[in-house]
Chains A and B, each alone.
Chain A
Amino acid sequence: MERNLMIAGFGGQGVMTMGKLLAEATAEATDLNVTFFPSYGSAMRGGTANCFVVISDKEIGAPVSYNLEDLIVMNGPSLHAFLPNLKSGGNLFINSTIVKDEIERDDINIIEAPVTQMAIDIKNERALNLIMLGVYVGATNAVPEDVIIKGIEHKFAAKERLIAPNVEAFRIGLEIGRDKSKA
C-alpha cells in the first residue's frame, strides 16, 4: 500500500524538517520504501514551503503526487493551493491556530489541531511541527510511534537536553491524533 503525504506551510514552521524526520525515521527503522521530495525554487522568508513524503511496501514511482492520501496544511495559502489535490476520503490536517477558513469539502476527514498555540503553551514554540507530526501519526498510524521517537532521539543526539521536550511535543500531538481518529 502506498501513502502519499504533502506538508505545506510558511518557511520557518518546520515543514521540511517534519517531512524529513518522518521519511528518515521510516527509512532507518523499517524495511519500507520511502521518498522525501522538497519543493525548491526561488524562496523568500515568510514564503511558502512544501514537501512530499511517499511511504510504500512496493517500489515508489513519482515522489510527488497530486492525488494525495494525506495533506497537512500549516497556513492559509497552502489550504487553498493544495486542497484540490487531496483525494476523496483523504485526511486533511489543519493547524487551526492559523487556518480559520471554512472547509467546503465534505468527502474528506478533517483533523484540526491548534499546534502553533499548543507549542507556545508548552514553551517550545519551535516544536509546532513535531506536535503536528504526532497528530498525523496518531490519526493515521502511517508508521509506529516508536519509529518517530527513535528519529527524534537520533536527530537531537548532539543536543541531548532537547530530546525530552521534543518527544513530549510529539506525544501531545499523538494523543490528539488518536482521539480524533476515534471520534
Chain B
Amino acid sequence: MAERVFMKGTEAMAEAAVRAGCRFFAGYPITPQNEIPEYMARRLPEVGGSFVQGESEIASVNMLYGAASTGIRAMSSSSSCGISLYSEGVSYCASARIPMVYINVQRGGPGIGAIQPSQQDYNQATKASGNGGFRMIVLAPDSVQECVDMVYEAFDYAERDQNPVLILTDGVMGTMMEPVVLPPMKSDEELSKCREKFLPRAIIGHPLGQQATCRPGSVGGGQEEKNIAASKLYKSWEKDIKVEEFMMDDAEIVFAAYGISARISKVVIRELREQGIKAGMIRPITISPFPYKSFENLDFARVKGIVNVEMSIPAQMKWDVEYAVKGRCPIKEVLRSGGQLLTNNQVMDGALEFIKEVL
C-alpha cells in the first residue's frame, strides 16, 4: 500500500490533478482555494505543464475552454462568487462538449458572502451552473482522501462524456489537513492515448475545421440536435450514480447530507446508535446525478423521519430529498450558514430534538 501523507485538501486536490495528467491550469485568486493555483504554479512546470493566472475568472475559464479543446487535460478552481463568474464559460464548454474539470471550494454566500466554509452553492452546482439547461456530473467529497480520488477520476468522466465535470467541496475540506494516500502518476503514454481520441477537435481555420466539435451551440447550425444528444448523455448517467448508504439496514431516523455535513452526521449516527437509536444516512456522493432512488425506495413503514443536514440557509439539497420522499415522512432541517461551521454537538442537538418528536 502506498504511504499516507499529511496534506491540506486544496494541495492534495492539486497534486491529484497533476497525477491524473492535468497539464494546464488557469485561475484567479480567491479564498479559500488559493493553495490550488499556488501549488499548480509551482508544480505544473515540473511536469511540462502550463499555469496561467488569468486577469479574471472570466478569462481563466475561457483559457480552460481553449486548452481543453486541444485534448490536453485541463483544470481550474475557484470559490462561490468566483464560480458565478465562470457561468458563461462553463455553459459554452457544456454547449461545445468540452471535457474540462473545475473545482468549487465553497465559501459563504450569496454575493461576496463570507470567506469561511459553507455549502451554499448546491442549487447552482446541480441545477444551473450557467444558462441553457445543461447538466454536469458533480462530485461531492467528504474527506481529503475523497477529494483526491474524485479529482483523479473526474478527468475520465469528462473525457468519456465530452462534458465539464465539477467537484463541489467547501472551505473545511479545502483548508483542513488530513492523512491521504495519493494515486499513481499517469504515464505520458497513457495520456497521449487520451489525447488521440481528440484529434478531430480543431478550430476554425484548421484543415480539420469542418469536423470541429469545439464550437458552442448553434455555430455551424444544429442546436436542437446537439441538445438532444446532450440530453441523451444526461439520461445515461443513471449508471454513474454513487451513494453511500450508512447503517441503513434497520434505520428509523435517516440523515440526508453530503460533503462536510455527511462526515459530521456519521459521527453523530454512531453516537445515536450507542444510545439505542436506529439512525442511518443516505449520503449522495454524486449530487448530480442525484440518488433519488435511495430516498424513493425507503421503507416508510419503518423510517420515522429524515434529518437534512446542510451548511446552507435556506436548505438546498432538501429540495431533491423532498422530491423523492413526496411527503411520506417529516423532514427536519439542521442548518448553519454565513461561514458558521457545523459541529458534532450541533448536529446531535438538532437530531435529538427531532427524534423526541417523531419516535
B248 within 8 A of A: no
What separation, in Å, do the CA atoms of A31 and B343 have in the docked complex? 24
B323-359 residues at the A interface, CB under 8 angstroms: 341-345
Interface size on A, residues (CB 8 A): 24
What separation, in Å, do the CA atoms of A109 and B312 have in the docked complex? 37
Of chain A, the residue at the smallest CB distance from B114 is A41
Nearest CB of chain B from residue A117's CB, rounded to whole Å: 31
B177 within 8 A of A: yes
Contact present for B344 and A65 (CB under 8 Å): yes
A23 within 8 A of B: yes
A156 within 8 A of B: no
Set A23, A41, A59: member contacting B177, Cβ < 8 A: A23
When distances are taken between beta carbons in the complex, the residues of chain B under 8 Å from A33 are 178-179
Of chain B, the residue at the smallest CB distance from A33 is B179
A179 within 8 A of B: no
Contact present for B266 and A63 (CB under 8 Å): no
A105 within 8 A of B: no
Set B177, B179, B341: member contacting A62, Cβ < 8 A: B341
A27 within 8 A of B: yes
Of chain A, the residue at the smallest CB distance from B115 is A41
Of chain A, the residue at the smallest CB distance from B178 is A35
What separation, in Å, do the CA atoms of A60 and B268 have in the docked complex? 10
Contact present for A66 and B177 (CB under 8 Å): no
A34 within 8 A of B: yes
Chain A 24-66, CB-CB to B under 8 Å as 1, else 0, gives 1001100001111110111000000000000000111111111
A20 within 8 A of B: yes
What separation, in Å, do the CA atoms of A60 and B5 have in the docked complex? 17
Chain B 247-274, CB-CB to A under 8 Å as 1, else 0, gives 0000000000000100111111010000
Known contacts A36-B6, A37-B175, A58-B267; can you find 18 more A-B pairs with CB under 8 A?
Answer: A23-B177, A27-B5, A27-B179, A28-B6, A33-B178, A36-B177, A40-B31, A40-B32, A40-B116, A59-B263, A60-B263, A60-B267, A61-B264, A61-B266, A62-B342, A62-B344, A63-B172, A65-B345
